[in-house]
């Protein structure tokens, strides 16, 4: 049986919202806020704006959620992509404290949605395990944990190598940091819940409509698609790794990186419990880090990573990820892979998300692989900013949002970065061999 090349999540809850989508090519209504992108960021922004009385439309070039929002691993946690120590080094202790504290606030915002409003999203908070690939990484983890506790009082503990068997059925790692309150969800079910909420609040949706340009029209914006035009007071860009060349200022500051995920066939309960006795979300410290978890229904192992830093076909990616998975869990040698899919993550050069405005265009993006937790929160903040609400202030408007002289929207350098990371992998594995 061939491997299915669409996300496993799509088979768990794929509701049909087509009756709520505009089919009319001549939309006449004027809006207070037009949101480009119907993922977690865009839907959260739409919900927030609608709740305070704004008339909102969401525009998506395909179908809302068919980008990264329903293609990810469904893991969520508070820390950012860069370490606590690096955050302090780059931004100073005061802003680092704000960023780390708001990372917790963003996670709690999303967790509150999942526990109080969108309870069918299969949220569980068994914690997230950051696994040290070599002894040096473990020492760095310890230093990061100390800094995290000092700056933001994170609920995180160190797990020594001798105790790892209580958390993971693998001998590959040298210790870990356990973020106890972190968790996972079913991203398809979460997205569908957000869609249902937005529809109930009266949000309009225009789909399969690529925005070609945005013009100023007095105090308003004219949004031009292939076959329609929309007038809106404010526009919010929520496209992350799917940002097109029509938004060059943003596109030149965010680059798409592919992430690939495979799913095993259904496994026995005994095997599942042996792989992940702690039921945690798990991610490695190595440069080309793998991440893995048990599916929300407790039946499969989902295993993701950078099979390549540039897009490759799913068949090739499946083979690479399967080999990595079996290296970590040899007991899965004979297990079949049923799904392999990919999606684009949006990275900034700072590896931190950014909420901002340029030429009266608001945006929230650049989650750098941590969008499940932060995108609903920052979509909420961006909507408040766009509507001139004081509550829209966020430390993520102070993160670096820079381009590079060699980058003009096409990440040609990622192929070369793949070779660089292979070299890093070589030396990281050498550190393992020494110990």
Which range marks the domain in which residue 141 is found?
A: 126-183+256-345
pLDDT band at 28 (very low <50, low <70, confident <90, very high): low
* pLDDT surpasses 60 at 24: no
pLDDT in tens, 388-435: 999 999 999 999 999 998 988 888 888 777 777 777 777 777 667 665
In total, how many domains does the chain have?
1
Is the model more confident about 144 or about 128?
Answer: 128
- CATH label of the domain that carries residue 306: 3.30.9.10
pLDDT in tens, 69-87: 999 999 998 766 777 788 8
Q: What percent of the chain has pLDDT over 90?
A: 69
Please indicate, yes or no, if residue 88 is contained in any of the structural domains: no
Q: What is the pLDDT of residue 26?
A: 54
Q: Is the pTM of this model over 0.75?
A: yes
* pLDDT surpasses 60 at 47: yes
Distance, in Å, from the CA atom of 39 to the CA atom of 375, rounded to the nearest integer, reads: 9
pLDDT in tens, 202-227: 999 999 999 998 998 888 998 888 87
For 145, 217, 280, 421, the CA distances from 139, given in Å and listed in that order, are: 10, 57, 21, 21
* pLDDT surpasses 70 at 23: no
Please indicate, yes or no, if residue 17 is contained in any of the structural domains: no
pLDDT in tens, 278-306: 999 999 998 888 999 999 999 999 999 98
Q: What is the pLDDT of residue 252?
A: 93
Q: What is the pLDDT of residue 435?
A: 57
pLDDT in tens, 316-353: 999 999 999 999 999 999 999 999 999 999 999 999 99
Please indicate, yes or no, if residue 120 is contained in any of the structural domains: no
pLDDT in tens, 135-172: 999 999 999 888 777 776 778 899 999 999 999 999 99
- By mean pLDDT, which of 17-21, 81-85, 234-238, 377-381 is the weakest? 81-85
Please indicate, yes or no, if residue 341 is contained in any of the structural domains: yes
- By mean pLDDT, which of 82-91, 169-178, 270-279 is the weakest? 82-91
Please indicate, yes or no, if residue 168 is contained in any of the structural domains: yes
């Amino acid at each position: 049986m061939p491997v299915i090349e669409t996300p496993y999540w799509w088979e768990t809850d794929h509701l049909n919202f087509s009756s709520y989508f505009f089919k009319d090519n001549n939309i006449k209504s004027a809006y207070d806020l037009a949101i480009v992108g119907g993922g977690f960021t865009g839907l959260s922004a739409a919900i927030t704006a609608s709740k305070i009385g704004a008339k909102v439309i969401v525009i998506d070039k395909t179908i809302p959620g068919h980008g990264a929002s329903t293609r990810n691993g469904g893991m969520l946690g508070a820390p950012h992509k860069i370490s606590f120590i690096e955050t302090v080094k780059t931004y100073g202790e005061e802003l680092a404290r704000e960023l780390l504290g708001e990372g917790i606030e963003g996670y709690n915002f999303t967790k509150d949605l999942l526990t109080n409003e969108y309870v069918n999203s299969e949220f569980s908070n068994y914690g997230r395990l950051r696994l040290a690939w070599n002894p040096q990484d473990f020492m760095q983890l310890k230093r990061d944990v100390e800094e995290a506790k000092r700056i933001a009082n994170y609920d995180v503990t160190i797990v020594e190598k001798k105790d790892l068997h209580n958390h993971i059925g693998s001998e590959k790692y040298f210790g870990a940091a356990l973020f106890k309150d972190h968790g996972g969800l079913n991203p398809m079910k979460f997205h569908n819940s957000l869609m249902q909420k937005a529809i109930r609040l009266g949000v309009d949706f225009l789909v399969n409509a690529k925005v070609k340009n945005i013009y100023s029209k007095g105090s308003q914006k004219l949004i031009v698609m292939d076959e329609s035009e929309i007038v809106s007071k404010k526009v919010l860009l929520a496209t992350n790794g799917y940002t097109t060349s029509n938004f060059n200022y943003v596109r030149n500051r965010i680059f798409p990186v592919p992430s690939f995920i495979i799913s095993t066939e259904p496994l026995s309960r005994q095997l599942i419990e042996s792989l992940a006795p702690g039921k945690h979300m798990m991610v490695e410290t190595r440069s080309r880090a793998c991440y893995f978890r048990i599916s929300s229904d407790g039946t499969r192992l989902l295993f993701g990573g950078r099979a390549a830093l540039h897009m490759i076909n799913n068949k090739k990616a499946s083979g690479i990820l399967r080999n990595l998975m079996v290296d970590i869990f040899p007991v899965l040698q004979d297990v079949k892979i049923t799904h392999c899919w990919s999606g684009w993550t949006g990275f900034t050069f700072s590896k931190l998300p950014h909420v901002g405005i340029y030429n009266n265009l608001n945006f929230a993006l650049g989650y750098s692989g941590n969008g499940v937790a932060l995108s609903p929160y920052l979509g909420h903040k961006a909507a408040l900013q766009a509507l001139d609400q004081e509550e829209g202030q966020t430390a993520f408007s102070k993160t670096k949002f820079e381009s590079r002289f060699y980058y003009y929207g096409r990440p040609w350098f990622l192929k070369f970065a793949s070779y660089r990371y292979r070299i890093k992998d070589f030396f990281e594995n050498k550190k393992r061999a020494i110990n």
